[in-house]
Amino acid sequence: MDLTSLLPFEMPHPALLAAGVLEGTVLAAVLALTALGLSIVFGFMRVVNVAHGEFYMLGAVLAWFVTDLVSRTIGGPPWLAFGIALMVCPLTVAAIAALCDRMILKRLNYDPEATIVATIGILYILQQLALTFYGPDARPVQAPFDFRIQLPWFGYSGYKLIVVAASIVLMLIVWLVLTRTKIGIIMRATQYDRETAQAFGIPVDRVYAGVFALGAGLAAIGAVLIVPIQQAHYLMGGEPLLLAFIVVILGGLGSLRGTIVAAIFIGLSDGIISTLYEPTLAKILATLLVAMVLVFRPQGLFGTRAA
Amino acid sequence: MLTLSNINASYGDVQILRDLSLTARSGETLCLLGRNGAGKTTTLKTIMGLIRAKSGSITLDGEELTTLPPHEVPKRGIGYVPQGRRLFAEMTVAENLEIGLMTRGRGRAVRERMLDLFPVLRERYRQISGTLSGGEQQMLAMARALCLEPRVLLLDEPTEGLQPSMIALIRDVVVDLKQTDVATILVEQRVDAVLSIADRVVFIENGQSREEADAETLRANPDLVRRYVGIA
């Protein structure tokens, strides 16, 4: 007996389902990186960084500039220009974020409410700077590798699978740094008790600048990885910011484990629903899910309730 | 030698310390006594730079500390055991000690010495510090501060809420510190504990150092203690 005949809905074709899962996995990988940055900044600094999406956008736009510059001046294979962009852009974005921290957030003494307003300001400044110097056009960046992996039903971009692998490696590195290194101990000590950390020689202001830079740098890495798949555009920061907030709220504010689990869930569901039905439906369902979490479990799935 | 001269310090608009002056010499235990709210904890926090002195001077062997950012003060050799221990409760015993060791770049030898001094910490080495008993937490807070190999150790109510055996252990550690030329400034509510280990006592009232006496004199003259603390 064919069990699928008992289902109340028609089973999608395996090829369509596989495509949805693959696209969802790529989205989940990039989303996990982006949301991890947002979650780290909130978890360690208690700053809700509304400009996070613009650091993502900046990473993508700078990737276009760098790859364009390298291919016009040095030339060489696409992976060379892309490799340089992957190193230079996140570092540049991290430096800009550190500058924003020292010039703006530090002066506000990291007050949770004032920093929300300040990061909204940073959002508009970065967006308008990108519009001024980059322009309103969406521009493509060539993928560093051009090969396809043949599946039973269709061939799939090898580069997209490399994006997934790179994200997993990067998240492992972040986890190792936070849990196994002296830098991680210093960051966590600052997170748990700022005053006592200072009493043990930890320069809290510098740690905060580093954390803010790390968060923005992670978003920029995600953007550089995704820009050969999507085009770079000055308004591209909005959607990843929304999705990152959904992920962080779902996983629990400041919970890195929750962030990654929620990113996988949202990414996969978005990919599958977008492929099988409508991208808009995927966003509606994700927003509904967040609303339900906020009502029934406001601390998120893995977060702890504030005392 | 740690010297505070005419220190004024505030929490926001509320002035707590008023022209407070005192000196802690190498190898001695100086106790600060006073009623709740007199300014004892504020004195320690001001020495650490956690509260900015509005005026006055704090020097350690001649080096001015009030101009340093707070994270530079412990690097000069001032260890701090805050009231309530203030451990990094979600981190392990090992990680808490590591933070103490990192402050002045101390290494394995110092850590081993601390684990020999407080053997229970060796048993709990990988345990999350928030799950330790109160006494064990206090030992860890002491060990973390001693990992700096401090020239001056600030202890804020280290016996608070501890059982007698733990109090005796902490008392022994403080007494042993005298042999190593470490100056200890102790804030303590338990007058009996103070008189058993202090070399000198400074009475603090309304943010000012009112009177100073050696422990021997106070043992012979309990009225003085009663006047400033209300008990003896």
Nearest to A199 among B50, B98, B102 (CB): B50
Contacts of residue A225, Cβ cutoff 8 Å, sequence gap at least 6: A30, A33, A86, A163, A166, A167
DSSP B91: S
pLDDT at position A307 is 45
How many CA atoms are closer than 13 Å to the CA of B126, on its beta-carbon side? Answer: 0
Give the CA distances from residue B22 to residues B178, B194, B200, in Å, rounded to whole numbers and listed in that order: 19, 17, 11
pLDDT at position A157 is 85
Residue A5 lies inside a defined structural domain of this protein: no
For residue A72, count other CB atoms closer than 10 A to its CB. 9
Q: Do B88 and A192 touch (CB under 8 A)?
A: yes
Residue A177 lies inside a defined structural domain of this protein: yes
Q: Which residues pair with A156 in a beta bridge?
A: A149
Angstroms from B232 CA to nearest CA on chain A: 33
For residue A2, count other CB atoms closer than 10 A to its CB. 6
Q: Tens digits of per-residue pLDDT, B112-129?
A: 999 999 999 999 999 999
Question: Quick one: CA torsion of A23, A26, A31, A36, rounded to 10 degrees?
Answer: 150
Q: Tens digits of per-residue pLDDT, B144-166?
A: 999 999 999 999 998 888 888 88
pLDDT at position A163 is 94
Contacts of A193 in chain B (CB under 8 A): 86, 88
Amino acid of residue B232: A
SS3 B33: strand
What would the two tokens of residue B225 be?
């203690």
Distance of alpha carbon B154 from alpha carbon B156, whole angstroms: 7
SS3 B139: helix
pLDDT at position A286 is 87
Domain that holds residue A41: 11-296
B196: exposed, middle or buried (Cβ count in 10 Å: 0-12, 13-18, 19+):
middle
Contact B22, B114 (CB under 8 A): no
pLDDT at position B211 is 85
Q: What are the strands, taking DSSP E only, across B25-150?
A: 29-33, 53-60, 63-64, 78-81
Residues of B with CB under 8 A from a CB of A: 48-50, 69-75, 80, 82, 86, 88-91, 95, 98-100, 102-104, 144, 148
Roughly how many angstroms between the first and final C-alpha of chain B, as a whole number? 30
Contacts of A194 in chain B (CB under 8 A): none
Q: Do A201 and B102 touch (CB under 8 A)?
A: yes
What would the two tokens of residue B65 be?
């500390």
Confidence class of residue B223 from pLDDT cuts 50, 70 and 90? confident
**Residue that is written with structure tokens 């005419």 in the block:** B6
Domain count, chain A: 1
Nearest CA in chain B to A184: B95
pLDDT at position B183 is 95
Residue A71 lies inside a defined structural domain of this protein: yes
A238: exposed, middle or buried (Cβ count in 10 Å: 0-12, 13-18, 19+):
middle
What would the two tokens of residue A264 be?
């996988």
Contact B197, B174 (CB under 8 A): yes
Q: Kindly state the average pLDDT of the residues B5-19.
A: 92
Q: Which residues pair with B154 in a beta bridge?
A: B80, B185
For residue B114, count other CB atoms closer than 10 A to its CB. 22
Percent of chain B exceeding pLDDT 70 equals: 98
How many CA atoms are closer than 13 Å to the CA of A287, on its beta-carbon side? Answer: 8
Q: Which helix (H) or strand (E) holds B187?
A: strand B183-187
For residue B2, count other CB atoms closer than 10 A to its CB. 22
Nearest CA in chain A to B104: A201
What would the two tokens of residue A229 be?
């798949």
Distance of alpha carbon A102 from alpha carbon A116, whole angstroms: 16
Q: Which residues pair with A149 in a beta bridge?
A: A156
Closest CA to B193 of B24, B32, B1: B32
Distance of alpha carbon A147 from alpha carbon A78, whole angstroms: 13
**What ipTM does this complex have?**
0.92
Distance of alpha carbon A94 from alpha carbon A195, whole angstroms: 26
Residue A264 lies inside a defined structural domain of this protein: yes
Mean pLDDT of chain B: 91
- Positions of chain A with pLDDT lower than 50, given as ranges: 307
Nearest CA in chain B to A198: B71
Q: Kindly state the average pLDDT of the residues B82-107.
A: 93
Roughly how many angstroms between the first and final C-alpha of chain A, as a whole number? 55
Nearest to B103 among A192, A193, A200 (CB): A200
Residue A116 lies inside a defined structural domain of this protein: yes
SS3 A76: coil
Contacts of B77 in chain A (CB under 8 A): none
Say if residue B107's pLDDT is above 90. Answer: no
Provide the CATH number for the domain around residue A229: 1.10.3470
Radius of gyration of chain B (CA): 17
Angstroms from B133 CA to nearest CA on chain A: 19
Residue A307 lies inside a defined structural domain of this protein: no
Q: Tens digits of per-residue pLDDT, B184-201?
A: 999 988 787 788 889 999
Distance of alpha carbon B159 from alpha carbon B161, whole angstroms: 6
For residue B90, count other CB atoms closer than 10 A to its CB. 14
Contacts of residue B149, Cβ cutoff 8 Å, sequence gap at least 6: B77, B104, B106, B110
Q: Kindly state the average pLDDT of the residues B28-49.
A: 93
Distance of alpha carbon B35 from alpha carbon B32, whole angstroms: 10
| A153 contact B CB<8A | no
**Residue that is written with structure tokens 């407080």 in the block:** B118
| A188 contact B CB<8A | yes
Contacts of residue A127, Cβ cutoff 8 Å, sequence gap at least 6: A54, A57, A234, A235, A237
